[in-house]
Amino acid sequence: MLKDTFLSRLDALRLAMKHPAHGGSGGMRRSKRLGSSAEFSDFREYVAGDDIRRLDWNAYARFDKLFMKLFMDEQEAFVSILIDGSASMAEKRAETVRAAEALSYLALGGGDRLRITWLGEGECRQSALLAGRSAYPAAAEFISGGEMRGRISLPEALQKMPPLPKGVSILLSDGYFDQGMGQTLDFLRYARQEVLLVQLLSAQEMNPTLQGALRLRDAEGAGEVDLLLDGAALRQYQATLHSFLAQTREDCLYRGAAYMLLCDDAPFEERFLPALARSGMSVE
């Protein structure tokens, strides 16, 4: 569970959506429909049957004619947090859990409905539909109970999931997939999801300190590779890493998805909010 001080900082924020919400009424997000929110939208002439509480008496005094004030309707959004539960994420489990909890808190605090899904090897484990800040402990408990093991293919795992309602999907993964993130993002786009990809890498992955002749064995069982890790090899790794991150960012940009990179090389509370702001997925 995140610290209260950090959660209080999250209270001032909510998840931003580029498109109007299409969820149920009573939410806090602006929808395309006109409704009862305090946000003014337009005027129209009064017709019989209209709610006289919304008559604009000032306009009547000035023009001697009845005008109705029209307001935007506010609806709740549907937020899905999808967690990559493969073995490669095990090293980043703590970071992943913290990020998922923070995002859950933001979603619940923003009046959105939230469902958390662990994408595991051969199965997907979904939480109940959660709403309201009061559901945060349940969300945190579900998040911390997830397992990270085996290999998964994100597109296949998403296809096996129950259909996602239109809304926001937040995908937490390290992005280590041979086919890249494009296919996954395309699938979510097809499912009318506004996507935030949170890419999680450990400090060891960002700046490896391995040296010597090593046989590197994949935690997901994806084989081994023999390398003489010297300065040149590590420099080449950095070049490969930067190319990989740039490609992932480009995949997101090309598909209109927000992108956020998290690395556990500093306290989470210091890194999360700046990274979220850079991704454009938070508003005050």
For other proteins, the binding residues (CB under 8 A) are: 87-92, 174, 176-178, 202, 205, 210, 212-220, 222-228, 230, 232-233, 236-237, 239-241, 244
Distance CA 271, CA 284 (A): 17
Name the minimum Å distance from CB 250 to other proteins: 16
Nearer to other proteins, 66 or 241 (CB): 241
Name the minimum Å distance from CB 248 to other proteins: 12
Name the minimum Å distance from CB 11 to other proteins: 34
Nearer to other proteins, 79 or 119 (CB): 119
Distance CA 120, CA 13 (A): 30
Question: What is the token pair recorded at 98?
Answer: 């913290």
Max CA distance (Å), the chain: 89
Question: What is the token pair recorded at 102?
Answer: 């923070």
Nearer to other proteins, 33 or 235 (CB): 235
Q: Is 270 helix (H, G, I), strand (E, B) or coil?
A: helix
Name the minimum Å distance from CB 215 to other proteins: 4
Residue type, 144: S
Distance CA 12, CA 100 (A): 18
Name the minimum Å distance from CB 69 to other proteins: 57
Distance CA 157, CA 122 (A): 7
**Looking up tokens 């990179």, which residue turns up?**
261
Nearer to other proteins, 11 or 230 (CB): 230
Q: Is 66 helix (H, G, I), strand (E, B) or coil?
A: coil
Nearer to other proteins, 161 or 233 (CB): 233
